[in-house]
Structure 1
């Protein structure tokens, strides 16, 4: 059998309680490590009567993976496995790579338990019940064969069998799988090093929304988490980050007039030589994703690819540095003269004086890069058209061609660029007041792409303005992007928050007493010893906040969502306690209880709980000063 025939053939592996057989003559039960070379295509269970049972796929589960057969075994024998004693589960046979290696055991109830047995990312999780999970070792397509056979021995009936269909991987699949595995390890590696307990929740869930009462420090907490994650647990404040680290964090606040063109992409006016043009420009989210995606994709590249791209980049820069804009002439194949007038990060702008209809064009630098990196000759325009998968040449291609030739002609021989692999980074996008925007209008088709289950190319979407690009690009959100939203529970717009979006976020309630650590800033910043000493000011703020919040939840119709958060009390850096009450807290509380029959009585209760009285301004604070 030739190698070409082998790579195209599908193989069938049949597992019973007594035997394991494959149609692939190279299969060796004593060398299950060979499974690294194969890709799963299908997995099913067949009983003695011929009835076929397949995997009941869960949300976010991708079909036909190395884990499908083991998950099917858990699905079939879930009750029996649940009822096994813990000590029996931990001694359950799972994998033996070869005759000289040890047999690996264990069905564990959490990743943490599994890691205590074996510290590795090579595991699979089977979710069942209310948030419960089974974890076993799993890596290649053959790594769960022994586990499945053991399930048949213990729980199956005579004639039951599992059938796995698989094929040999091609070279690209093997390389991609190895690289993506390394990326996933890098994403998970520092999770235990984070200082903030909410950082782990964000890493696990990809998207979270902090909800709670106003002033509970949700935005403050979001920025803390972002700093914690991008610095791998080294800093916990945004201000402490380096400028490079700050580029991994973006912040935006939604409001009713915010829309798709602000967030994703839209047409924006531009003046060029007195003429108004409309350019398609990326919004803040798409720009941010472009940075994260470039880092993600670059971290997957092998040194040879990096070297080629670096060389091309240096050639383009060198060429453009030597061009005298508006002076140096270039000619198309048909002899039309044009000049390079300017450049930016995306385009080379040219002027075509002989063309009375279209005398200005923008040439995509990315397209020039792709042509140079391909190594092709491009002798005619149709070669470019074919390269970009077009039926007909665009006008730009007639100018791409001479620029491509000019850069190739200026290439310096025997230059080997300095290359360095790019470290994978995490990128945090914070959306403050996420519920105040019209979610469906802002996100559009990105509803699908932001789903944690569809990160990466699996979640590729075509954006609304993609047809305006000469090369239609799919948009996706890479694995190294994490989204934090904040929202106030009592905001009226919460009721209309899109249910499709709710499914894509993990909601975490932040209560008024959850972020009191931010009041440490009062101790650090208070320099006025005439008010209260540093520690006393913080203690007094916490006491008043606690007393007031107890009074709030004691009112019919109010609950914890109406309590006052610690961020209000940070205003004590510049205000007195009385000023804080009169200018901030009292107006807010009056809004809360508006319409209740006993408003005055309730407000008096609140004022007393807070410690406010209507003496001359400053006297109440002086009373606390004497207590200090």
Structure 2
């Protein structure tokens, strides 16, 4: 089986050799761990290929000492370095050669005393490598000849041919991207998939492809395209798109009226609207040049007919590195253009590709999926798109029940070691195991924010004032006049029981859709046509109002309390308002009456709220307004409804992207409704039937800064793994204010952070400590983002500071690597020392500058004391230790205030 990176590098090196017959390079010799059989032609890994240029080993890293390193990084990044390594070299003449080569070529980054790296390129990688071989390698060859090392270092033709023949034999055995075992597994899996409803559904869904292709054909005919046009493509083509989306975006995409009418008619007649997601909601930031490049890319895609042409097309587009238009966005567009050639690729497909041992880049995905197309005997690559989602036996995402993460974790360590930074990745890994954490930090933060918005992740910082009432539940004051159902009541204070953060997330975590909710579903057509309203049936905090909800459920109706016994039947909106106003109604009451009677239409839907954070019932409006002055409840204004879901407690974040408002009745923003709740795809239905609920995460930053025993109260015991709900030793308590039975769900994870150098707080008490797993986070002087300033490797500075701090204080009082991350010039380094490091050391040592001097050295800490035996130095006063105090040392921090070019400051840093 080929490895894409190594095969591509080998092909490129052989191409260069064709025009330069004397060029020879070093290939892998030993088939250790079956590496050669897996296509790892050079020393390195699946994502790193070290092409040796001379015959000398680099030591323990197993590469040659002088080599080109081709690498694949995170999020489709790639590059080529020139690296020189001599870890175990003892021949001083050869070491001298390495140092002269480094000076000759210049531009190297010193990683260690015996390891140097020079980045050649992250774009146009092949061209950059060839330029080095053409222009700079001859200089190194001449240096070797000059130093008499050519016999020792040059690779012979015999050595090269021997290594190449070994690889040629392996290549002849297998010229495909898949091995025999993989092929057998894949064929069986696809045969199983063909017997599923999802296969039939995707087959029918293919009717959408001609429409999408038509849109794209007409789009590229435009003189110029805009960001909103690309946003329109994403919105129109996404799974479960609707008429309201088509009505918005088709007129934006195309000015011609006949074309608009034609496309809208086709879209409306489609049974399956939309096809797949793009991972984004829109495109907003492309400039004119980038938009023109996207347009050209799509035009060329229509002309592309072969796999080789498709690979070349996408390689060239990827090299443009256009923001926002990555493979997850553009691959569906290419698929609609040619469904038999271009596959759809997103995160799920990347996991699948990586499982097969192929580099997760789109050009190689084209080759892989077309090989799969032949293997599985299908014509439409869209079938493979759905199949990847159904391949449970191959997915690498763990089920909730199999998660190895402990339920309660505390990350502890000195300041600056990335504890809070790490909680974000840990929380995502727990809440959404399918997310690829190799994405960019920006995309990781975006996913984290999404999960926070969805209510799956919560973040809180403990402090000394935080209480049980804030965290679990408490009694809060409320003006009765806030109850808009009863505006006649005076502004007296009342008290309500309010959930704290911990109780609220526990409620969300324990929620499981009941049978009604699972079965509730609207058609796309019904959803597109309808409006949705939120309505309160009484005050859910007032048990006396329960009769209102119960009456409405029993009598298939909804009601409002405004309007008294006035009869608004047959009146226009203005007449309704005038009658209500004449009878003392005002303000919001007039608006509410109009919403209820005139804006709420038949076949609209009403969500009955249970406070601001959950929904207790869903109804479909089936009748007009009517008055029932003899009703058994205080409310007399009614509408007939059909109850679709009732007596439930659905968290609002399952339905809507916002919390419900305090208003008793208002129209919901359709854009914020969660489409997947109302129109359930086969995947969503399957998820609802799943026995394993979603995971939830509560991040507690600075957990030791709060009074933990007071904040958790009696719930500390419930945090234990075997005391969680549904576990054999499950416990529940009765909460003191609400009197509700309460337990902690087993799918709620707690991640805390603790700064071990913080002297202002006490350590965690034993009761909580034994219920958490502790994960130490130490300074990492080898961190990739620690740089070099003026030939000073800051990782070494960090090491020296920390070994002295550990000796003078403890390991808990060292400093973290974050102080030096992305510090890449003199000004930033100066700010780091004087704004962060030195103030922290002053805190550590209580202002004892002598000890600070032991850490940073005399260049940073000056002895400004002088032996002064003058009798009048102190005020006139007899004190037995006066003479000794005259001898006391006094120190000052050197600030290098007149050091315009930072030269003296840098010298001081070097001395650390």
TM-score range (shorter-chain normalised) is: 0.3 to 0.5
Structure 1-normalised TM-score?
0.46
Larger Rg computed on CA atoms: 2
